[in-house]
A and B are shown apart, each in its own frame.
Chain A
Amino acid sequence: MLASYLRLALKVFGRRRFFTAVSLFGISFTLVVLMVAVAIVDHVLTPRAPETRQDRTLGLYFASMQGKHWGWNSEPGFMLIDRYGRGLPGVERMSIFSTPQDVPAYLAGTRVNFDLKRTDGEFWKILDFTFLEGGPFTSDDVDQARFVAVLNDTSRRRFFGDGRALGRTIEVDGQRFQVVGVVPDVPRLREVPFADIWVPLTTAKSDSYRRELMGGFLGLFLARASEDFPAIKEEFRARMKRVELTDSHYDSMVAVPETPAERLANRIEVGPRRGVIGTDRQGRTHVGRFWAALGLLALLFMLLPTVNLVNLNMSRIMERASEIGVRKAFGATAGTLIGQFVVENVALTLAGGAIGLVLAAAVLRALTASGLIPYAQLQMNGRVFLWGLGLAVIFGVLSGAYPAWRMSRLHPVQALAGGGR
């Protein structure tokens, strides 16, 4: 039966080439946009080197200090993480590192800016960097405030061209560092590992950061297992209630370690309704709502082309009233006919999806090559493909079901007479 439906669908599509072309364009364009979005989310959230242990890590990305008349939301400060993040239950390792700082260097007399991150030694143990040259700096280097640096591949080429960097010296932000390692470029979208240059925390020009509760640092916690996450969060939340606030304008602190998905939800969520889909003011996370919101957004985006396709399908199906009458006369039930027309539409959508997949792969290649998102390696992979396939099927069912239902309600006598009522 399916083969018969598909044969007929091919004939109908071939006969009505304009309709088919318009439909395919609408479907493939919609799916290209959605698949590129999926690929970007996939790029941000799926475990990949150096974040191979991402499923076991929580990050402290955000803190909120509240007072009667004042509020301060930012990244946490070093002291908050250092004083309240150590010794959490179920945490195997913990790292503190700065957010990337935009620092200048002068290369052949030209100012070039780099993103520099100051980290501790544990940073290199939680993250799984592959080294092109040398290795990471150690906790001892950090304790001794040694001026050593790890570069990414692009920075190596900027400083030293095609030559090796190991053991050579760079000068950034008025400080000189000896290169101890070189790693592949890390996409900017990977917030935790990303930088152009990594140097020890203790090489900062001032140690005032050690006394700050708010601003400029992130914490990373490697749990023994993801099952430990709730206990870690709970304990941290409890500790936040005991924070000794140094500024009398504030009387409470809210901060909670988050998974990458929770972090993404918080980054996307902006404005006064913050807390609805991300982390709320009590430090509770609502990542389920975030995924639901993303799904809703995707559905809304598909709505307009779906309505268009529904209209096209209505006229296409109503032209086939006589066929509907014949099929009903010979024993087709409404359900069978709905199945037939949905199958036809899903076939058309899958064809559009296949075109969309090819186009999306090309767009992702072009996006990666353009450097619009620094060091991004956006690509079509199995997950993105499956998402695309799933979206195509949803699109096909959505745009096929209503016309099919309308058609299935045609009275057989009137359908045979060539029209609906």
Chain B
Amino acid sequence: MIQLQAVEKVYRTDTIETVALAGVNLEIAEGEFISIMGPSGCGKSTLLNLIGLLDAPTGGQVALNGTLIASYRDQDVAPIRNREIGFIFQSFHLIADLSVADNVEIPLLYRSVSAKERRERALAALDRVGLSSRVHHFPSQLSGGQQQRVAIARAIVGRPRILLADEPTGNLDSQMGDEIMSILHDLNQREKTTVVMVTHDLAKAEQTARTIRLFDGRQVN
């Protein structure tokens, strides 16, 4: 499903070169639920961004569904992100001026989907995360856990095969964190969605099938 070969990411300025990732080889099968762990600054989020095609590697190759990503031009990767990948962020990144339902509809705006169908699918996604009673609320009217559930609904509304979650429970208390983990597990088991989760939390990592550990931009056992 996801293959990384000798992937590296180096940030260069005129005077300094920072190696964020080096020599990462990774293969994630369809329907897997894996976690990425490591100390702050070890390259976890960078790795997730490369898998999510939000950033281009400076070396190595990334393939999704057996297709090598040859071009990182906006118009080439945007449709892949739209169809194949759903993102869940630590700080939710909901748009404050949009209602819950409008937030959830966002990925469908970039497909040929009618307004009616967009609304129906957004309501179904919200129902899936147990928030059908908050459709017309605004993000500021929701708790952190509820906001993250809206973010999950937004991530799954386009029925992507891959969910990338960057510290999805990082801003939540343990009870809400457990709820979010439970939703992710449910999506993984019932829908066979591939989930890649970055976390600091060993307990959460242990709930996944496999853990990738990073240290100073390198994969460690």
| A interface, CB within 8 angstroms of B | 1, 3-4, 7-8, 11-12, 15, 322-323, 325-336, 411-413, 416
Contact = CB atoms under 8 A, between A and B. Distances in A.
Contacts of A11: 97-98
Given A8-B98, A11-B97, A332-B109, 15 more contacts: A7-B102, A12-B97, A326-B87, A328-B81, A329-B81, A330-B158, A331-B78, A331-B158, A332-B78, A333-B75, A333-B110, A334-B74, A336-B110, A411-B55, A416-B54
A222 B54 CA distance: 70
Main secondary structure of the interface of B (DSSP, over half): helix
A327 B52 CA distance: 14
Contacts of B167: none
A334 B105 CA distance: 19
Nearest to A330: B107
Contact of B97 (A15, A325, A333): A15
A49 B102 CA distance: 55
Those 7 A-B pairs whose CB atoms lie nearest each other, nearest first:
A331-B82, A11-B97, A331-B110, A330-B107, A333-B78, A412-B54, A329-B87
A413 B54 contact: yes
A332 B115 contact: no
A327 B106 contact: yes
B171 interface: no
Contacts, number: 66
B79 interface: yes
A134 to B, nearest CB: 66
A363 B111 CA distance: 47
A4 B97 contact: no
A329 B93 CA distance: 11
B46 to A, nearest CB: 8
A418 to B, nearest CB: 9
B154 A329 contact: no
Contacts of B49: 413
B74 A322 contact: no
Contacts of B111: 331
B78 A413 contact: no
Contacts of B158: 330-331
Residue among B52, B75, B82, B95 with most chain A CB within 10 A = B95
Interface in B155-195: 158
14 contacts: A4-B102, A15-B97, A323-B95, A326-B87, A326-B95, A330-B81, A330-B106, A330-B110, A330-B154, A330-B158, A333-B110, A412-B54, A412-B55, A416-B93
A329 B86 CA distance: 8
Given A413-B49, A413-B55, A416-B89, A1 B109 contact: yes
B83 interface: yes
Nearest to B155: A330
A327 B95 CA distance: 10
Contacts of A333: 74-75, 78, 110
Contacts of A15: 97
